[in-house]
Amino acid sequence: MNRVQPIYDITIKIQRILEGDISANMRQEVIDQINTLLLERGTYMEHASEPFTKEELELGRKLLPINQVIERKMEAIFAEIKDEMKQVKKQKQSNRKYINPYENIHTIDGMFMDKKK
């Protein structure tokens, strides 16, 4: 029995999911699907140990470039999420400044300080 075949199949599923158009609305669903597939693949990887057959080694060699493509796409999604989080934070800050423009001004100019007690 080929122990690497299920790992290969799951990796191909992940690749197909990431090749599709991932909109901001669907991103959470896609991330959930990928997480479940990665957990499933991880369990298969724990059980796959040496010695490997020639078929298993060949599938392993095919997996490496596919896995690199998956990593790049996942990093791109992560960077996209980080950018959106920065935009949301900046938007909140802009809204707060619009509502109260003098919130962060710490000056005592124009104040009278009575030195006598």
Q: With a cut of 80, say whether residue 111 has pLDDT above it.
A: no
| Domain edges within the chain | 5-73
Q: Per-residue pLDDT tens for 30-52? A: 999 999 999 999 998 888 878 88
Q: What secondary structure letter does DSSP report for 116?
A: -
pTM of the model: 0.72
| 41, 8 contact by CB (below 8 A) | no
The sign of the CA dihedral 22, 26, 30, 31 is: positive
